[in-house]
Structure 1
Amino acid sequence: MISKQPQNQSPAAIVKTLNIIHMALAAGQILFAAVTFIIPKSQEKGAANDMLIYIAPVLAITCFIAGHFLFLKLLSNIRRDSPLKAKLIAYQSATIIRLALLEGPSLFSIIGFLLTGKLIFMAIAGALVAYFIYVRPSRQKIEDDLSLGYEEKAELDGTDKVY
C-alpha cells in the first residue's frame, strides 16, 4: 500500500490531522442528523421501510464489532521497533477504518429515520455517534494504544531532545 502522507510531517502534526479528521466526521454525522430532524418525514408503509428496522441494528452491531476487532488487529501489526512516524501513520489508518465502520451505520440509521420518521433509527445513530466521540484519538490514547516509550512520547510532544 502506497502512503501519500507527507514524509516531512511531524508526529504532532499527524496527531493534529487525525483529530481534525475525527472532528469533521463527527460534525458531519451530527449536522446530517439535525437536518433530517427538521425535514418533514413521510409516513409511508412499505416492505423496504419495514426491513430497515431490522437492518439498521444488525448493521450497527456488526460494524461496531468489526471496527473494534479490525482496529485491534491493525494495531497488533505495528512493529514495536518501527520509527514513531511509521507507527503514527499506521495508527492513523487503523483509526480512519474504525471511524468509517462506525460512521456508515450511523448515516444508514439517520437515513432510516428520514424515510420512516421512527425515532428508533435516531437512537441507534445517537448511540453510534456517542461511541464515535468516545473513541476520539487523544494524545494519551495514542500513547497507550501504541505503548510508546519515554523517548517516543517526548518526540510526540515535540520535545525530542532529552537533556
Structure 2
Amino acid sequence: MINKQSVVQNPNTFVKTISIIHLALIAGQIIFAAAAFMTTKNHTTSKSDDVFIYVAPIMALSGFAISNILFKTLVNKIDGQSPLKTKLAAYQSALIVRFALLEGPSLFAIVSFMLTGNLIFLGISGAIIAYFIYLRPTKQKIEDDLNLGYEEKAELDGAGKVY
C-alpha cells in the first residue's frame, strides 16, 4: 500500500515549487513557439480570411480577463483563519488555474501560426508569455495576495516553524 501521508515542506520549498511550475509552463510555451517557427515554412504578416484571426485574439483577451477574475475570486475565498499550509495549498490551486487559463490561448495561437504561417499569432502568444513572466510568483506577491499577518510572513520567510 502506498503511504498517502502528506509531504512536510517548509514555506521556502513552497515558493520554489510554484516557481518551478511557473518556469516549466513558460519554457513549454517558448519551446513550442520556437519549434513551430522553425518548422513552419511560409511566414507572413498579412491579414487573412481565416477564422483564427478573430478567434485567437478573443481567446487571449478572454483568458486574460477570466484568469484574473477567477484568480481573485479563488484567493478571496481563502479563509483568513486557516493555517498557513491550507492557505498556501489553496493559493497554489488558484495560481495553477490562472496559469492554465493563460496557457491555453497561448498554445492555441501557436497552433494557429503553425496552420496559417501568420506571425501575428506568434505575437499574440508572445504577449501572453510576457504577461506570464510578469506573473512570476514571489514571496512578496504571496504575502500581498493572501494578506498574511506578521507571524505568517515570518513563517513564510523560514523564521517560523516547519508546517
Q: Note whether the superposition's TM-score is higher than 0.5.
A: yes
Q: Please report the TM-score for the alignment, with normalisation by the length of structure 2.
A: 0.89
1:92, distance to aligned residue in structure 2 (A): 0.3
SS for the counterpart of 2:148 is coil
**Counterpart residue number, 1:9:** 9
**Counterpart residue number, 2:60:** 60
1:40, distance to aligned residue in structure 2 (A): 2.8
Please say if 1:132 is aligned against 2:145: no
**Counterpart residue number, 1:160:** 160
**Counterpart residue number, 2:46:** none
Counterpart amino acid of 1:10? N
Q: Which runs of 5+ in 1 are unaligned?
A: 44-48
CA contact (8 A) 1:67 1:102 kept: yes
1:109, distance to aligned residue in structure 2 (A): 0.2
1:7, distance to aligned residue in structure 2 (A): 4.7
**1:95-122 alpha-carbon deviations (Å, 9 max, x no partner):** 0000000000000001111111111101
Aligned equivalents of 1:27, 1:150: Cα separation in 2: 35
Aligned equivalents of 1:5, 1:97: Cα separation in 2: 25
CA contact (8 A) 1:113 1:119 kept: yes
Aligned equivalents of 2:112, 2:20: Cα separation in 1: 28
Counterpart amino acid of 2:144? D
SS for the counterpart of 2:23 is helix
1:59, distance to aligned residue in structure 2 (A): 0.7
1:41, distance to aligned residue in structure 2 (A): 3.3
Counterpart amino acid of 1:32? F
RMSD: 1.7
User: Between the two proteins, what is the percent identity of the paired residues?
Assistant: 59
**1:13-61 alpha-carbon deviations (Å, 9 max, x no partner):** 1221111000000000011111111113368xxxxx7111111011111
| Structure of higher RCO (CA pairs closer than 8 Å, 6+ residues apart) | 2
**Counterpart residue number, 1:87:** 87
SS for the counterpart of 1:80 is coil
Q: Which runs of 5+ in 2 are unaligned?
A: 44-48
Would the alpha carbon gap of residues 89 and 119 (structure 1) be closer, same or farther in structure 2, given more than 3 Å must change?
A: same
**Counterpart residue number, 1:46:** none
CA contact (8 A) 1:14 1:89 kept: no
**Counterpart residue number, 1:41:** 41
Which deviates further from its counterpart, 90-99 or 10-19?
Answer: 10-19
